[in-house]
Amino acid sequence: MGAAITIALVLALVFSAWRFFVRARLRRSQQTASGGSQATAIEVDRYDEIDAELASRRCLCGGKLRTLGEGTAEQGERSFRVVRTECERCEELGWVYFDLSAIEQAPTLH
C-alpha cells in the first residue's frame, strides 16, 4: 500500500513539473510570435483588422482565444492597441499587440 502511494505522489510531481515547463514554453513562444509584444506588434491600417486577426488567431495548443479586454499603450511616437486574451482550451492568458501608427498618421477627410 505504501509503495502505491509513493508511486502516485511521484507521478503527480512529474506531471506538475511537466505542466509547468509546457506553460513556460508556451509563454515564451507567445512573446516572440507576431503580436506577442510591442517589438513584434501587428501593424494594422484599420481597426476592423484587429477583430479579424483575433477571430483567426489560435493558442499554441490549438484552442480558440477569447478576448478579456483591451486598452492602449504608447512607446515614443508609436501607439498600440493591447488585447488581453485567454485560451478556451488550456486557459493560458496572453496579450496581443497591434501597432496603430499607420492609423494615427492617416490623413483625415473634412
Q: What is the pLDDT of residues 41-56, one digit of tens each?
A: 999 999 999 999 999 9
- Residue 110 placed within a domain: no
Note the helical H segments in the chain.
Answer: 2-32, 48-56, 101-105
In the chain, how many domains are there?
1
- Residue 83 placed within a domain: yes
Q: What is the pTM of this model?
A: 0.69
Q: What is the pLDDT of residues 66-77, one digit of tens each?
A: 999 999 988 888
C-alpha 22/C-alpha 17 separation (Å) is 9
CB 80 within 8 A of CB 99: yes
- Residue 13 placed within a domain: yes
Q: Which residues contact 71 (CB under 8 A, 6 or more apart)?
A: 81, 82
Q: Which domain holds residue 32?
A: 2-105
- Residue 25 placed within a domain: yes
CB 52 within 8 A of CB 83: no
C-alpha 58/C-alpha 96 separation (Å) is 11
